[in-house]
Structure 1
Amino acid sequence: EEDVNYWMPVDQYIGGVEHAILHLLYSRFFTIALRNEFKFKFSEPFQNLFTQGMVCHPTFKDEKGEWVFPKDVKFKNGEYFLNNNLKVLKGDSQAMSKSKKNVVDPEDIIKIYGSDAVRWFILSDSPPDRDVQWSENGIQGAYKYIQKIWRTCEKISNYQKVNENFDKNFLIKIDILIKEISECIEKFQMNVAVAKLYTYLSLINDEIERLAVDKNNLMDVFKKYLIIISAFIPYIANECWEKIIKKTDLANQEWPKFDNESLKKDEFNVVIQINGKKRAIINAIHNETEESIFSKSLAIKNIKVILENTTITKKIFVKNKLLNIVTNEK
């Protein structure tokens, strides 16, 4: 009884929606039955439930109506064919299923791009509670990002600039990143975390190109960045860690901390408008650039949706106060 009350209830249950009428139902029934018999201190077996989306891929059938594997299908002159040149009918994209053969062997993809790229694509493509449409173009994009991390690592290992008068906002931004990624993980917003990590890597490279940051501070920031991305793409993170730190102990590092009080002093609320109409308010640091604010605004779902089918004609930026995105829509 002591062990049960210590370990139960389960903090987080992650499973498909089909579990609602199977495993979840049975486990709740048995928990209540055992509670009444053994006087447990809890009534529900799980404190939190998260239902993840599925990985989807188009389906294909041959002329006999039999399912065929995507790897056996080729596209030519607007039509689909098997390797023996028999025509194939492309169907809807559905959750990958062995019975429908619309599956991709992960080993084949990993051999070409590596497991980090596969992991990064799945995390970045959509919120984890929604379906992911499998795309080799998406995998290629993830692979390019991982290559960019390695190139950044090489730049940092060769960086020699000593600059005591660098912009302190660069250090504040890594604290903001730690805070935001920590919150994203708690909320299962992995795709939002990925977008923020993309943006911050570009910031690091901008600072390197401008020779605007001190070597020691750059190393400190990149070490924290590697600890963060190791939760998402561990292999490239470990390779970079070994290159610049000369150690193999990345997995033993604590999650980086941030000074919340310090961040509050440097935070400003910036109003995001589209054609003069308020759409959101985001947190920004003192004197944060227009490019950075605009990038953050694109990570907000309703703003991204509004801007999808429009053309941005100009941006009106008032530092620490406002960003008005003007489009061709009246």
Structure 2
Amino acid sequence: MNTTPGSDITDVDLVRLAQEGRWLVLSTVARTKAGHIGGPLSAMDMLVTLYFDTLRRDPSRPDDPDRDRFILSKGHNAIALYAVMALRGYLPVEELGTFDQGNSRLQGHPDLLRLPGLDASTGSLGQGLAVGAGMALEARRQGKEFTTFVMLGDGEHQEGMVWESVACASRYKLDNLVAIIDRNGLQQYGWDLDGGGDSRFDRLDPWAGMNLSAIYRGFGWNVVEVDGHDIPELRRSFSAANKRSGKNGRPTVFMARTSKGRGVSFTEGEYKWHNGVATDAQLAQARLDLGLEVEV
């Protein structure tokens, strides 16, 4: 499918594409024995909405200087991005079978020197928003009208560099910068709150008890709270942010409520599926959960 974003694609189309993307994540990781599951599944609805409806980009012109930029700051979720890019026509779907293999264009973290269509190499958490802020600032200096979107994880916000970038973006009034926080409230590792020595500690919401939206507002950002799995809501919200780009002097952040491992019965809400390899039986169950007529 190679529909021009925002043309005649329907909500039903996008929901189906998101389910196909989830299947590609699970089946690819099962085949290559590498990659993450939980975060890619929680981000899938947003990625599909961005690439098929919001971003002003053309897969046949991946280096178009006027294209909207997208940065996956939580780079360990690369398989989700590759799956959506494959569905969008940036690469053959069959190439997903080379994921995280030697000499593949599809490395375990995005590498812009290998795959056309990537706008940043990411993987070290906390850095993506700084790169996006730099792109937004340079766009303004060059008189370009593209918008830069950056997707971050909620746990990633434990990195101090994120907050330096939040402050910088507000200071320079980067209203052509949009952050999307995949707030799935579950991380692989956490804090040793009681000193019990559990090697993984408390894995729940890294911002439990804190108003992350209020913090961003305090930094001068425009905050929009959305359901990260409600595609009609995402379409309206992302489109409005793109139309508002460059007009109000404030960067925008979407606080997207999501569920880690979304859409598959044995992965949703399970920290152990931050990463993992599905068995044949689990793949068969996933096919049923996702409602897809595909062969395992």
User: TM-score if structure 1 supplies the norm length?
Assistant: 0.23
User: TM-score if structure 2 supplies the norm length?
Assistant: 0.25
Q: Which has the higher strand share?
A: 1
State the structure with bigger RCO (CA 8 A, min sep 6), 1 or 2.
Answer: 2
Q: Determine which structure has more spread, i.e. the larger CA radius of gyration.
A: 1
